[in-house]
């Protein structure tokens, strides 16, 4: 990641309250640990991870929730596994009012990991 992109992602995270920063940082650190050597940058003003120019995960904070864009292919699987969350066509939504599910963030990153076997 370029220094400019790092600064943009850092600035994005620092824009929020400390509690939201901690949640965004959890997503970022988990993704970095699981994905390994991927490109981190912003896309559509959101932090994102890319491999070979292809976006594999986007995430962002909003007024009432944090979303992780998992793509259309994984939403149905996640809905079945974790019906307690809200979803859009391509994202899973974690309301700020609820405890943050770090374990599910790890599962999502493992599912989206471009280096995983049998995907």
pLDDT of 118 > 70? The answer is no
Does any domain span residue 117? no
Report the CATH number that the domain containing residue 57 is assigned in CATH. Answer: 3.90.1150.200
pLDDT of 67 > 50? The answer is yes
The answer, as to whether pTM is greater than 0.95, is no
Does any domain span residue 36? yes
Does any domain span residue 32? yes
Does any domain span residue 119? no
Domain count within the chain: 1
DSSP 8-state assignment for residue 99: P
| pLDDT tier, 2 (very low <50, low <70, confident <90, very high otherwise) | low
Structure tokens at 95: 């309301």
Does any domain span residue 118? no
Helix (H, G, I), strand (E, B) or coil at 104: helix
For residue 90, give the nearest of 68, 61, 115, 118 by alpha carbon: 68
Does any domain span residue 93? yes
In whole angstroms, give the CA distance from residue 111 to residue 97: 26
Does any domain span residue 41? yes
Helix (H, G, I), strand (E, B) or coil at 41: strand
Does any domain span residue 91? yes
In whole angstroms, give the CA distance from residue 31 to residue 44: 19
27 Cβ contact list (under 8 Å, min separation 6) = 59, 66, 68, 105
| pLDDT tier, 20 (very low <50, low <70, confident <90, very high otherwise) | very high
Cα R_g (the chain), whole angstroms: 14
Structural domain that includes position 19: 3-112
pLDDT of 115 > 90? The answer is no
> Cβ distance 28 to 9 under 8 Å?
yes
Q: Quick one: pLDDT at residue 37?
A: 84
């Amino acid at each position: 990641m370029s220094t400019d992109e790092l600064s943009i992602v850092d600035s994005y995270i620092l824009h929020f309250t400390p509690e939201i920063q901690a949640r965004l940082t959890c997503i970022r650190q988990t993704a970095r640990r699981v994905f390994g050597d991927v490109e981190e940058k912003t896309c559509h003003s959101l932090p994102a991870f890319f491999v070979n120019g292809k976006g594999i995960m986007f995430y962002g904070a909003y007024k009432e929730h944090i979303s992780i864009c998992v793509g259309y292919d994984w939403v149905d699987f996640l809905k079945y596994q974790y019906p307690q969350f809200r979803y859009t066509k391509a994202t899973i939504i974690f309301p700020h009012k609820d405890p943050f599910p770090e374990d599910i963030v790890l599962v999502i990153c493992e599912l989206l990991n471009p280096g995983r076997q049998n995907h």
